[in-house]
Amino acid sequence: MATEIERKFLVTGDRWRSLAEGKLYRQGYLARGTATVRVRIVGERGYLTIKGQNDGICRLEWEYEIPIADAQMMLDSLCDAPIIEKYRYPISIDGYLWEVDEFLGANAGLIIAEVELTDETDQPTPPDWIGAEVSDDPRYYNANLAQHPWSQWSRD
Protein backbone atom coordinates (compact mmCIF):
# COMPACT_ATOMS: atom_id res chain seq x y z
CA MET A 1 0.00 0.00 0.00
CA ALA A 2 1.17 3.49 -0.80
CA THR A 3 -0.14 6.91 0.04
CA GLU A 4 -0.22 9.46 -2.75
CA ILE A 5 0.32 13.02 -1.56
CA GLU A 6 -0.23 15.43 -4.42
CA ARG A 7 -1.09 19.04 -5.12
CA LYS A 8 -2.60 20.24 -8.43
CA PHE A 9 -2.26 23.61 -10.11
CA LEU A 10 -3.37 25.27 -13.31
CA VAL A 11 -0.48 26.11 -15.65
CA THR A 12 0.04 29.56 -17.12
CA GLY A 13 2.15 30.44 -20.13
CA ASP A 14 4.48 28.20 -22.14
CA ARG A 15 7.86 28.51 -20.38
CA TRP A 16 7.55 24.93 -19.08
CA ARG A 17 7.50 23.47 -22.62
CA SER A 18 11.27 23.66 -23.13
CA LEU A 19 11.97 21.80 -19.86
CA ALA A 20 10.86 18.27 -20.83
CA GLU A 21 9.56 16.01 -23.57
CA GLY A 22 6.00 14.79 -23.31
CA LYS A 23 4.82 11.21 -23.38
CA LEU A 24 1.30 10.20 -24.45
CA TYR A 25 -0.97 8.80 -21.75
CA ARG A 26 -4.31 7.14 -22.50
CA GLN A 27 -6.52 6.15 -19.59
CA GLY A 28 -10.04 5.14 -18.75
CA TYR A 29 -12.04 4.30 -15.66
CA LEU A 30 -13.45 0.91 -14.72
CA ALA A 31 -15.06 1.96 -11.43
CA ARG A 32 -15.76 5.14 -9.49
CA GLY A 33 -17.02 5.46 -5.94
CA THR A 34 -15.33 4.58 -2.67
CA ALA A 35 -12.42 3.51 -4.85
CA THR A 36 -11.50 4.56 -8.36
CA VAL A 37 -10.08 1.90 -10.67
CA ARG A 38 -8.17 3.13 -13.71
CA VAL A 39 -6.49 1.43 -16.66
CA ARG A 40 -3.70 3.35 -18.38
CA ILE A 41 -1.35 2.95 -21.32
CA VAL A 42 1.94 4.86 -21.33
CA GLY A 43 4.13 4.11 -24.32
CA GLU A 44 4.30 0.32 -24.58
CA ARG A 45 3.23 -0.38 -20.98
CA GLY A 46 -0.14 -0.97 -19.38
CA TYR A 47 -1.12 -0.23 -15.78
CA LEU A 48 -4.04 -0.90 -13.47
CA THR A 49 -4.40 1.60 -10.62
CA ILE A 50 -6.71 1.62 -7.61
CA LYS A 51 -7.12 4.88 -5.69
CA GLY A 52 -9.03 5.55 -2.50
CA GLN A 53 -11.01 8.66 -1.70
CA ASN A 54 -9.15 11.89 -1.06
CA ASP A 55 -8.39 12.97 2.48
CA GLY A 56 -7.21 16.49 1.78
CA ILE A 57 -4.25 16.06 -0.61
CA CYS A 58 -3.69 12.41 0.42
CA ARG A 59 -5.21 9.14 -0.72
CA LEU A 60 -4.34 5.48 -0.83
CA GLU A 61 -3.01 4.24 -4.16
CA TRP A 62 -1.92 0.90 -5.62
CA GLU A 63 -0.55 0.55 -9.16
CA TYR A 64 0.32 -2.64 -11.04
CA GLU A 65 1.83 -3.17 -14.46
CA ILE A 66 -0.35 -5.34 -16.70
CA PRO A 67 0.12 -6.64 -20.25
CA ILE A 68 -0.43 -3.86 -22.76
CA ALA A 69 -2.86 -6.05 -24.75
CA ASP A 70 -5.03 -6.40 -21.63
CA ALA A 71 -4.88 -2.65 -20.98
CA GLN A 72 -5.88 -1.91 -24.58
CA MET A 73 -8.78 -4.37 -24.43
CA MET A 74 -10.01 -2.79 -21.18
CA LEU A 75 -9.79 0.72 -22.68
CA ASP A 76 -11.67 -0.43 -25.79
CA SER A 77 -14.37 -2.51 -24.14
CA LEU A 78 -14.82 -1.60 -20.46
CA CYS A 79 -14.22 2.15 -20.20
CA ASP A 80 -16.84 4.77 -20.96
CA ALA A 81 -16.02 7.38 -23.57
CA PRO A 82 -14.36 9.72 -23.64
CA ILE A 83 -11.13 8.27 -22.36
CA ILE A 84 -8.54 10.69 -21.04
CA GLU A 85 -5.72 11.43 -23.47
CA LYS A 86 -2.89 13.73 -22.47
CA TYR A 87 0.78 14.41 -22.87
CA ARG A 88 2.69 14.33 -19.60
CA TYR A 89 5.88 16.34 -19.17
CA PRO A 90 8.00 15.39 -16.10
CA ILE A 91 9.99 18.38 -14.79
CA SER A 92 12.34 18.12 -11.79
CA ILE A 93 12.86 21.36 -9.87
CA ASP A 94 14.60 21.68 -6.49
CA GLY A 95 14.10 18.01 -5.62
CA TYR A 96 10.40 17.91 -6.55
CA LEU A 97 8.86 16.25 -9.59
CA TRP A 98 6.33 18.47 -11.33
CA GLU A 99 4.23 16.60 -13.91
CA VAL A 100 2.55 18.86 -16.44
CA ASP A 101 -0.46 17.28 -18.14
CA GLU A 102 -1.57 18.80 -21.44
CA PHE A 103 -4.98 17.32 -22.18
CA LEU A 104 -6.29 16.34 -25.61
CA GLY A 105 -9.70 15.50 -27.04
CA ALA A 106 -12.71 16.66 -25.02
CA ASN A 107 -10.33 18.23 -22.46
CA ALA A 108 -8.11 20.03 -25.00
CA GLY A 109 -6.87 23.38 -23.77
CA LEU A 110 -6.63 22.29 -20.14
CA ILE A 111 -3.10 22.15 -18.71
CA ILE A 112 -2.55 21.05 -15.11
CA ALA A 113 0.64 20.52 -13.10
CA GLU A 114 0.82 18.04 -10.24
CA VAL A 115 3.60 17.87 -7.70
CA GLU A 116 4.16 14.68 -5.69
CA LEU A 117 5.08 15.25 -2.05
CA THR A 118 6.56 12.99 0.61
CA ASP A 119 4.69 14.77 3.42
CA GLU A 120 1.55 16.91 3.57
CA THR A 121 3.56 19.77 5.06
CA ASP A 122 6.04 19.98 2.15
CA GLN A 123 5.98 23.44 0.56
CA PRO A 124 7.82 23.36 -2.77
CA THR A 125 8.45 26.74 -4.34
CA PRO A 126 6.15 26.87 -7.38
CA PRO A 127 7.84 27.62 -10.72
CA ASP A 128 6.78 30.89 -12.35
CA TRP A 129 4.49 29.04 -14.77
CA ILE A 130 2.28 27.70 -11.96
CA GLY A 131 -1.11 29.37 -11.55
CA ALA A 132 -4.02 28.81 -9.19
CA GLU A 133 -4.08 25.72 -6.98
CA VAL A 134 -6.98 23.35 -7.74
CA SER A 135 -6.10 20.50 -5.35
CA ASP A 136 -9.43 20.87 -3.54
CA ASP A 137 -11.56 21.16 -6.69
CA PRO A 138 -12.80 17.66 -7.68
CA ARG A 139 -13.70 18.86 -11.19
CA TYR A 140 -9.98 18.62 -12.00
CA TYR A 141 -9.62 14.95 -11.00
CA ASN A 142 -8.97 12.90 -14.13
CA ALA A 143 -11.85 10.54 -13.27
CA ASN A 144 -14.23 13.53 -13.26
CA LEU A 145 -12.74 14.97 -16.45
CA ALA A 146 -13.63 11.67 -18.16
CA GLN A 147 -17.29 12.12 -17.16
CA HIS A 148 -17.48 15.92 -17.37
CA PRO A 149 -14.90 17.11 -19.92
CA TRP A 150 -13.40 20.56 -19.54
CA SER A 151 -14.77 21.59 -22.96
CA GLN A 152 -18.30 21.31 -21.55
CA TRP A 153 -17.71 23.53 -18.51
CA SER A 154 -19.30 26.95 -18.33
CA ARG A 155 -16.59 29.65 -18.39
CA ASP A 156 -18.68 32.28 -16.56
Which CATH number fits the domain that encloses residue 130? 2.40.320.10
Q: Whole-structure pTM over 0.85, yes or no? A: yes
pLDDT level of residue 155 (50, 70, 90 thresholds): low
pLDDT level of residue 127 (50, 70, 90 thresholds): very high
152: exposed, middle or buried (Cβ count in 10 Å: 0-12, 13-18, 19+): exposed
The count of residues in the chain is 156
pLDDT at 110 over 90: yes
Q: Is 29 a catalytic residue?
A: yes
Helix (H) or strand (E) holding 95: none
pLDDT of residue 20: 96
89: exposed, middle or buried (Cβ count in 10 Å: 0-12, 13-18, 19+): buried
pLDDT of residue 33: 87
In the chain, % of residues over pLDDT 70: 98
Domain range for 54 is 2-152
Catalytic-role residue among 29, 47, 87, 141: 29
pLDDT level of residue 72 (50, 70, 90 thresholds): very high
pLDDT of residue 154: 82
pLDDT of residue 55: 85
Provide the number of structural domains found in the chain: 1
pLDDT of residue 1: 53
